[in-house]
Amino acid sequence: MSPGLSQDQEKEGNVMTKLLGVIAIAAVAFAVAPAQAAKHATGGCSSANLEKTETAIENMADGDSKFVAQKEIAAAQDSLLNGKMGACGAHLNKAMHATMGK
């Protein structure tokens, strides 16, 4: 074998090792993300948190942020009533971020 060929093979091996590492990290992230979302959704999507967010929205100045927050809180309430806790948590989170003023 020529020295150039072994260096090319070594570079390909390094690339494959790095690619496998990235794939492993992505697999762990995709496995953990739904569990974390469910954990936050069940604790985050509650009547108390909806009420607190609604109060914050009422105290906001009129504008685009308030309109977005109102839409998100309505979607959160609908999701809660339909038992979609993950969607409820996501909408409630968006509404909360809108109340923080952008």
Average pLDDT by stretches of 10, the chain with 102 residues:
59 76 76 54 72 90 90 91 89 87 56
Residue 41: its pLDDT value, please? 42
The token pair at 96 is: 């909360």
Q: What pLDDT score was predicted for residue 32? A: 60
Tokens standing for residue 31: 């496995």
Task: Return d(Cα 90, Cα 45) in angstroms, integer.
Answer: 9
Distance CA 73, CA 57 (A): 9
SS3 percent helix, strand, coil of the chain, rounded to 5, is: 85, 0, 15
Structure tokens at 45: 């999507």
Residue 9's Cβ-count burial label (10 Å; 0-12, 13-18, 19+) is: exposed
Q: What is the pLDDT of residue 74?
A: 93
